[in-house]
Amino acid sequence: MRPAIFFDCDGVLNEEPGGHGVLGPDDVRLIPGAGEAVRASHEAGYLAIIVTNRAQVAKGFVTLAGLETIFARVRELLAQDGGLVDAIYFCPHHPERGRPGGAPDFQIACECRKPGTLLFRRAIADFGIDLGRSVLIGDSLRDIGAGRAMGLKTYGVRTGFACRDVERYPDQAPPVPDRMFADVGAAVAFCLAPAEHGQAGGPD
């Protein structure tokens, strides 16, 4: 069994554009060092897996075909720095129904939209991942909540939403990352550092 680093996409690997988010491949702009971070993960023996909410599909801003062009661009840019992604798992749903111009088939409550855990469970089933040595890196408290629900170490980054989206948890205490880092490069470097420093460390 191999460990994995689960990466959120926008705000972690790709810049968070705000507004309705990334709507096409031209909107993809990597955060500096993202490709090198993914490459370092692979070189250390980790699977590199992207897990991302894509409510733009349910809201009618992006089709599934359009989403594939976005992911192809993310992969292309990461690969320019040697960052190869093993898989991308995405949730196209949103629970808001009846939105004008939306895609009704995707306007549902689901278990895959983070902080739901279905995307992680699919990855584990597909790859036989060792959860005890795996990590999630996210910029949103939804990412952190999903990682915690799976028993993962959770590392937040100060890019994107910077794990400040406490408004998503009006009726309960928000989840707290195990550690915060400036960006994905710093988070991965910490993850891959020797285990005696108290973090995940590299695979055996």
Tell me the sheet residues that pair with 30.
14
pLDDT of residue 120: 98
Two tokens, residue 10: 């926008």
Enumerate the active-site residues.
8, 10
Question: Which of the following CATH numbers is that of domain 4-197: 3.90.1310.10, 3.40.50.1000, 1.10.645.10, 1.10.150.120?
Answer: 3.40.50.1000
* The residue type at 182: A
Q: Are residues 87 and 49 in contact, defined by beta-carbon separation less than 8 angstroms?
A: yes
The Cα–Cα gap between 4 and 2 comes to 7
**Average pLDDT, consecutive stretches of 10 residues, N- to C-terminus, the chain (204 residues):** 96 93 96 98 97 96 97 98 98 88 92 97 97 96 96 97 92 94 98 62 43
Q: Do residues 118 and 87 lie in contact, with contact meaning Cβ atoms separated by under 8 Å?
A: no
**Angle at the Cα of 19 (from 14 to 22), degrees rounded to 5?**
35
Q: Where are the alpha helices (DSSP H) in the chain?
A: 34-43, 64-79, 118-127, 141-149, 184-192
pTM above 0.85, yes or no: yes
The two structure tokens encoding residue 178: 């195990």
Structure confidence at residue 195 (pLDDT): 59
Supply the pLDDT for residue 201. Answer: 44
pLDDT of residue 198: 44
Domain boundaries, the chain: 4-197
